[in-house]
Chain A
Amino acid sequence: MARMKFTSRGVVLPLAALYFLVPIGASVWFSVNEVEGISFDAYTKGLGTEGLTTSLMLSVRLGLATIVCGLLLMVPTLVAISLYLPRLRRIVEVLCMMPLVVPPIALVAGVTTVLSWEQDLADTPLYMTFQVLRDEEFPLILVLVYTVMSLPFLYRSLDAGLRAVDLRTLVEAARSLGASRLQTLWQVVVPNLRTAVVGGAVLSLAMVLGEYTVASVLSYRPFSVWMVEIKDSEAQLSVAAAMLSLLITWGLLLLLTTLAGGRSRRRAHSGRENRKKTVS
């Protein structure tokens, strides 16, 4: 027992802490260290540069659009499946997990090929669609690809949420009180799925903000692509931006625990603690 304590907690955790904290500390030091002492220029001046604000805003807009798109697709579908179409559950689950089998780079390889049909379709109305999809200001194509990539965690999050509530009773109650289908969905089901919806949304947003592969292959310039573009000319700024993105991720997940840390979570947590107490 004593030996076990020594090996697992006494050695593993400090080593892990060292491994995980050193890169962050070293990066912060790298970004402020100048020949003539410490300078926070990378943070004060650099983070205000135009490239950063434009690219970060593009990332945020893409992220929000992805969340809206993903939730609009998934919430009604999963609610309908658990209420009326249970036979479709398995196939929807498998389809939502497909993006885990097709890596982003493989998906974007297919997307690039599809987009290259643009020339062949120049005479058809579809040509306009391609133009809209590839709009430099707001590339919808990225939103679509990101929505596909966010399906696995949206599914997991919403599925767990739907299992935790008695959906049928809720919907029946709402409908018997005269709520329309949309009202039921929007005012009864969604508020009860708050934790799941917020959880899925935050994970999607974190994924989009850090996404590099798809955007760089399709030559758009969101936050992480910008970060890489400046790495040779302004190394300190790029590291500062990396730290900023870590901070944003941290803030987002903190927001998630605060927003979603309502009843259900606390109950589950205290339940677990109780069980541990009784058995140990």
Chain B
Amino acid sequence: MADKTAPPPAGSGAAVLADSVPAAGPAAPARPSPPVRGGGARRRGARRHRWPVVVPFFAFLAVCFGLPAGTMVYGAFTVVDSATGEGRFSTENVSGSLSGAYATGLTGSVELSAVTALLATVIGTLIAQAVVSSPRPALRGVVVSASGVLANFSGAPLAFAFIATLGTTGTVTQLFHLDRTGFSLYSFTGLVLAYLYFMVPLMVVTVLPALDGLRSQWQEAAASCGATRGQYWRHVGIPVLTPSLLGGAVLMFGTAFASHATAAVMVGSSQPLITIQIANALNGNVLVGQENLALAMSLNMVVIALLVMAVQIPLQRRSTRWLG
């Protein structure tokens, strides 16, 4: 590439074609060139020495991601004969992972993710819109930094915060005698409440740039055409935002779907969730010879995540057209 370009004009200062320069020492003797180490050798090697830079990256991914992922797919379709120890191709694991308690777990996870994604998208957008339309810039700073922290506050610590608040001996439970109303944190509702704690801030951070992109000229134009505020949102605001909102919802779904720690610490196995079932299977709580069931369940998760993510790709293109 660069070694085919013409030698740089002598004395042209610093910003010239870099790769050709160190080697071009003899061609441009007038330049006060700094000491060049191994000039000629480097030029000849320049072209060859570019792609090795990216080899570690691909090698790393192949070993640390490709190998486990490949094993997962292979294992999901393999049944190990307990007598001979030999594996054979079979769809038993996959069909097993899609029936009975495991099917309940899968649908439970999908339901929980869908409900929390919907709620987080709506609530997060409302909060973000409240911040964007606020005349005080300080409010924005506070909300953005708080969202950054809270979006990262998930997993075990979050579960403890909710147990301490709304658990059986939690502060709020005791204060308002919530146990008498039949409320339980260790339920679907409890999980939704806890998940929203990190999903809403994540949605706020995600959707803020899109709301910033809504130009107030559009609103003024709509208003001068006689549109009410409701009409503006129905015909202009929401349609322009739809791709971003759906993209955010997809991200929310993926986040909720992949969550394991919060639910594992809070409700244990009492709620049927696929992540908890996989963890239980991996910890040896299934019958011997059924380890591959965990791999089949993992494969199901990946397939669902892929399907949901696939929704986002065409949407993103549309979103950049208006809000880019």
Q: What residues of chain A have their CB less than 8 Å away from a CB belonging to chain B?
A: 1, 4-5, 8-9, 12-13, 16, 19-20, 22-24, 26-27, 29-31, 33, 72-74, 76-77, 80-81, 84-85, 88, 92, 95, 98-114, 116, 144-145, 147-148, 169, 171-178, 180, 203, 206-207, 210-213, 216-217, 224-225, 227-228, 231, 235, 238-239, 241-243, 245-246, 249-250, 253-254, 257, 272-273, 279-280
Give which listed residue, B61, B129, B148, contacts A8 with CB less than 8 A. Answer: B129
Q: Known A-B contacts: A203-B152, A213-B260, A228-B156. Give 17 more (CB < 8 A).
A: A16-B123, A16-B200, A19-B197, A26-B161, A102-B302, A104-B260, A105-B275, A107-B69, A110-B68, A116-B291, A173-B14, A176-B18, A178-B22, A178-B34, A242-B158, A245-B157, A246-B149
Give Cα A12 to B278, complex, Å: 38
**Known interface pairs A106-B298, A178-B33; A76-B53 also in contact (CB < 8 Å):** yes
What residues of B have a CB within 8 angstroms of the CB of A174 in the complex?
18
Give which listed residue, B146, B152, B254, B301, contacts A206 with CB less than 8 A. Answer: B152
What are the 8 tightest A-B residue pairs by CB atom distance, in nearest-first order? A110-B68, A175-B18, A178-B34, A103-B258, A172-B18, A106-B298, A30-B164, A242-B157
In the bound complex, do residue A231 and residue B150 qualify as a contact, i.e. CB atoms below 8 Å apart? Answer: no
How near does chain B come to A114, taking the closest CB pair, in angstroms?
5
**Known interface pairs A108-B282, A109-B72, A273-B137; A77-B54 also in contact (CB < 8 Å):** yes
Give which listed residue, A8, A33, A106, A239, contacts B130 with CB less than 8 A. Answer: A8
In the bound complex, do residue A213 and residue B305 qualify as a contact, i.e. CB atoms below 8 Å apart? Answer: no
In the bound complex, do residue B22 and residue A175 qualify as a contact, i.e. CB atoms below 8 Å apart? Answer: yes
In the bound complex, do residue B64 and residue A147 qualify as a contact, i.e. CB atoms below 8 Å apart? Answer: yes
How would you classify the secondary structure of chain A's contact residues: helix, strand, loop or mixed? helix
**Known interface pairs A144-B64, A178-B22; A110-B295 also in contact (CB < 8 Å):** yes
Give Cα A85 to B202, complex, Å: 33
**Known interface pairs A73-B60, A175-B21; A109-B278 also in contact (CB < 8 Å):** yes
Give Cα A254 to B142, complex, Å: 12
In the bound complex, do residue B18 and residue A30 qualify as a contact, i.e. CB atoms below 8 Å apart? Answer: no
**B261 is an interface residue with CB less than 8 A from chain A:** yes
Chosen A-B contacts, 21 in total, with CB atoms closer than 8 Å, are A8-B130, A13-B139, A20-B197, A23-B164, A73-B57, A76-B54, A80-B50, A80-B53, A85-B50, A103-B305, A105-B275, A106-B298, A109-B72, A110-B298, A213-B279, A224-B156, A239-B164, A241-B160, A246-B149, A246-B157, A249-B149
Give Cα A245 to B265, complex, Å: 16
What residues of A have a CB within 8 angstroms of the CB of B68 in the complex?
107-111, 113-114
In the bound complex, do residue A210 and residue B265 qualify as a contact, i.e. CB atoms below 8 Å apart? Answer: no
In the bound complex, do residue B278 and residue A105 qualify as a contact, i.e. CB atoms below 8 Å apart? Answer: yes
Give Cα A80 to B47, complex, Å: 12
In the bound complex, do residue B160 and residue A110 qualify as a contact, i.e. CB atoms below 8 Å apart? Answer: no
Q: Which parts of B40-73 form the interface with A (CB within 8 Å)?
A: 50-51, 53-54, 56-58, 60-61, 64-65, 67-72
In the complex, which of the residues B152, B215, B301 has the most CB atoms of chain A within 10 Å of its own CB atom? B152
**B16 is an interface residue with CB less than 8 A from chain A:** yes
Give Cα A207 to B166, complex, Å: 25
Give which listed residue, A81, A108, A254, contacts B54 with CB less than 8 A. Answer: A81
In the bound complex, do residue B171 and residue A169 qualify as a contact, i.e. CB atoms below 8 Å apart? Answer: no
In the complex, which of the residues A5, A98, A106, A216 has the most CB atoms of chain B within 10 Å of its own CB atom? A106
Give Cα A116 to B153, complex, Å: 32
In the bound complex, do residue A238 and residue B160 qualify as a contact, i.e. CB atoms below 8 Å apart? Answer: yes
What residues of A have a CB within 8 angstroms of the CB of B164 in the complex?
23, 26-27, 30-31, 235, 239, 242
Give Cα A238 to B156, complex, Å: 10
In the bound complex, do residue A212 and residue B75 qualify as a contact, i.e. CB atoms below 8 Å apart? Answer: no
In the bound complex, do residue B53 and residue A227 qualify as a contact, i.e. CB atoms below 8 Å apart? Answer: no
What residues of A have a CB within 8 angstroms of the CB of B166 in the complex?
23
In the bound complex, do residue A212 and residue B279 qualify as a contact, i.e. CB atoms below 8 Å apart? Answer: no
How near does chain A come to B183, taking the closest CB pair, in angstroms?
14
In the bound complex, do residue A85 and residue B61 qualify as a contact, i.e. CB atoms below 8 Å apart? Answer: no
**B8 is an interface residue with CB less than 8 A from chain A:** yes
**B19 is an interface residue with CB less than 8 A from chain A:** yes
Give Cα A95 to B155, complex, Å: 25
